């Protein structure tokens, strides 16, 4: 039986069934909209739609069903990943309009498909870029097909998807993730005057092949002019300290602007997260001008179970993370949005060598001014450690890892840690978010947590976190879709 201790209190998951990539995250009419890849019929069939959560404050959410489902021939086997653009004043009476862009997935296994073409790279699929608009973010109008499989450059395989669209200098731009016929990943850049009629501008390649496919391209453009190209490459070989998951997610800091970039240096690729369960993140700018990232706290890795013991839901999203530039490295720091602090209950002070108790399964832990090696252990089961200049997480009770290995990365010194524990989801932020690990664990039954600190620190505190989503999951009715579908 699934264990209640695995339930999430402040991480978004689907009411039931499967969740993967966040899609179209934005702030629209003052509220935060987080769409996501949703298959409520999992594990019986694989048919993706966009599910939706909406929030005023990035902390309390309401579930709004599945606003975009397969409904036209061009998206009949899945409404795949994409983005939204808020069009200011473009609606009736000057209201804002939300425009969604996504890939319509079609599988054609009948005429002309070679069954040896595993993954339908050259035969057996179509990918169409589609747009539709909404005045409330929930009800979308007519779907318009913008680009069809035959419109992409000749050197593209059939894997082209995940539009990221934005407006800049009076133009609209669209990035697509793609797989070259010669089996390497790349991005395609398109330009448009109106967001509807698109012209191919150029490819963005790596100097040397870097994985066979780049999924979910994304951008970060900071006020100081720094630009970053983010994407999720598939097929990178596992190295000692890098690329330990089946697929990776990261970004490349650019010397110039994305729209002028044709080649990136793959040696500059920075992984967003070193945990077992992180992929396909998306970024957006909110009304305060903050760059926020939300990732899929999950992955396709067959090594680790994500829904053991008949759990009726699979995967969740990370908490929203604020992105800032680290002036020293030029890399992006990720920290949980400050709004999350609102969920903290009564503070517990942690004492080195002692075990403290937290009254729920949801906790926020902060350690500041750390000196030297040591560890912090949750429930005598999950350990975050810094030893001989390696920072990592370790599962002390193997079955609670559900197949996950211990993980660590080289790190010169550890200054601070922030650990979010939420049922079966854990996010570890180190050195002001310069290094992050997101992983799942499947602890034993229980309604409280223990925390044992064995680190020399100036400040060590923990808070129980309010469970703001449990009720929502209990009451949300997932609508069901009936057509058979297919895998990415």
Classify residue 414 by its DSSP letter. Answer: -
Q: Considering beta carbons, is residue 248 or 377 the nearer one to ligand FRU? A: 248
- The minimum distance between CB 395 and ligand FRU, in angstroms, equals 25
Q: Which residue bears the tokens 């449990």?
A: 470
Site string for ligand FRU, 270-289 (x = CB under 6 A): ---------xx---------
Nearer to ligand FRU, 99 or 161 (CB): 161
Q: What CA–CA distance (Å, rounded) separates 361 from 13?
A: 17
Per-residue interface string for the shown chain with ligand FRU, residues 176-215, x marking contact by CB under 6 A: ---------------------------------------x
- Catalytic: 260? no
The answer to whether residue 103 forms part of the interface with ligand FRU (CB under 6 A) is yes
Min dist CB 78 to ligand FRU, Å, is: 6
- 488 lies in the binding site for ligand FRU (CB under 6 A): yes
Instruction: DSSP for 216-263, please give it.
Output: EEEEEE-TTS-EEEEEEEE-PPP-SSS--SSB--EEEEESS-GGG-SE
Q: What is each CA distance from 427 to 152, 393, 424, in whole angstroms?
A: 38, 11, 10
Element (H, E) at 471: helix 470-475
CA 446 – CA 387 distance, rounded (Å): 30
- Does the protein bind ligand FRU through residue 20 (CB under 6 A)? yes
Q: Two tokens at 156?
A: 């593209």
In the complex, minimum distance from the CB of residue 382 to ligand FRU, in angstroms, rounded to a whole number: 26
The residue from 21, 277, 416, 467 that is catalytic is 21
Q: Does 161 bind ligand FRU (CB under 6 A)?
A: yes
Closest contact distance (angstroms) between CB of 185 and ligand FRU is 11
Query: Which residue, 80 or 429, is less far from ligand FRU as judged by CB?
Result: 80
Give the strand order in the sheet containing 144-147.
79-87, 97-107, 125-134, 144-147
Among 13, 16, 48, 407, binds ligand FRU (CB under 6 A): 48
Identified binder of ligand FRU from the candidate list 18, 36, 61, 80, rule CB under 6 A: 80
Q: Are 67 and 53 in contact (CB under 8 A)?
A: no
Q: Please report the DSSP string for 313-373 in residue order.
A: EE-EEPPPEEEEE-TTT--EEEEE-GGGGGGB-S-EE--TT-EEEESSSEEEEEEEEEEEE
- Residues recognised as catalytic: 21
Interacting residues with ligand FRU (CB under 6 A)? 20-21, 37, 48, 80-81, 103, 161-162, 215-216, 279-280, 488
């Amino acid at each position: 039986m699934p264990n209640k201790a695995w339930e999430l209190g402040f991480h978004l998951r689907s009411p039931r069934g499967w969740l993967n990539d966040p899609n179209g995250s934005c702030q629209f009419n003052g509220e935060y909209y987080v769409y996501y890849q949703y298959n409520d019929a999992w594990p019986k069939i694989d048919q993706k739609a966009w599910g939706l959560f909406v929030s005023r404050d990035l902390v309390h959410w309401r579930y709004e069903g599945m606003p975009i489902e397969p409904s036209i021939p061009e998206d009949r086997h899945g409404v795949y990943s994409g983005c939204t653009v808020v069009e200011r004043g473009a609606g009736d009476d000057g209201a804002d309009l939300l425009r969604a862009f996504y890939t319509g997935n079609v599988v054609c296994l009948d005429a002309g498909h070679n069954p040896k073409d595993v993954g339908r790279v050259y035969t057996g699929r179509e990918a169409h870029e589609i747009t539709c608009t909404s005045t409330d973010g929930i009800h979308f109008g007519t779907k318009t097909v913008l680009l069809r499989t035959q419109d992409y450059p000749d050197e593209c395989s059939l894997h082209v998807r995940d539009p990221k669209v934005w407006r800049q200098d009076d133009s609209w731009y669209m990035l697509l993730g793609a797989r070259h016929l010669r089996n390497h990943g790349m991005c395609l850049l398109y330009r448009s005057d109106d967001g509807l009629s698109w012209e191919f501008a150029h490819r963005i390649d790596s100097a040397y092949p870097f994985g066979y496919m780049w999924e979910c391209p994304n951008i970060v453009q900071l006020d100081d002019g720094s630009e970053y190209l983010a994407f999720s490459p598939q097929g990178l070989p596992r190295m000692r300290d890098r690329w330990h998951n089946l697929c990776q997610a990261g970004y490349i800091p650019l010397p110039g602007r994305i729209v002028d970039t044709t080649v990136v240096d793959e040696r500059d690729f920075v992984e967003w997260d070193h945990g077992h369960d992180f992929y396909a993140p998306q970024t957006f700018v909110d009304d305060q001008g903050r760059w926020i990232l939300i990732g899929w706290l999950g992955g396709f890795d067959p090594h680790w179970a994500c829904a053991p013991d008949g759990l009726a839901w699979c995967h969740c999203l990370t908490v929203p993370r604020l992105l800032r530039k680290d002036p020293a490295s030029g890399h992006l720091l990720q920290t949980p949005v400050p709004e999350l602090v609102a969920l903290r209950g009564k503070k517990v002070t942690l004492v080195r060598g002692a075990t403290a108790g937290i009254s729920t399964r949801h906790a926020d832990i902060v350690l500041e001014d750390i000196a030297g090696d040591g560890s912090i252990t949750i429930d005598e089961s999950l350990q975050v450690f810094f030893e001989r200049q390696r920072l990592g997480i370790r599962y002390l009770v193997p079955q609670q890892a559900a197949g996950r290995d211990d993980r660590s990365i080289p790190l010169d010194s550890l200054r601070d840690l922030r650990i979010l524990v939420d049922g079966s989801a854990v996010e570890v932020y180190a050195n002001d978010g310069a290094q992050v690990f997101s992983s799942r664990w499947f602890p034993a039954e229980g309604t409280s947590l223990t925390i044992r600190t064995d680190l020399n620190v100036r400040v060590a505190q923990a808070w129980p976190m309010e469970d703001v989503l449990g009720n929502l999951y209990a009451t949300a009715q997932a609508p069901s879709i009936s057509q058979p579908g297919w895998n990415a």
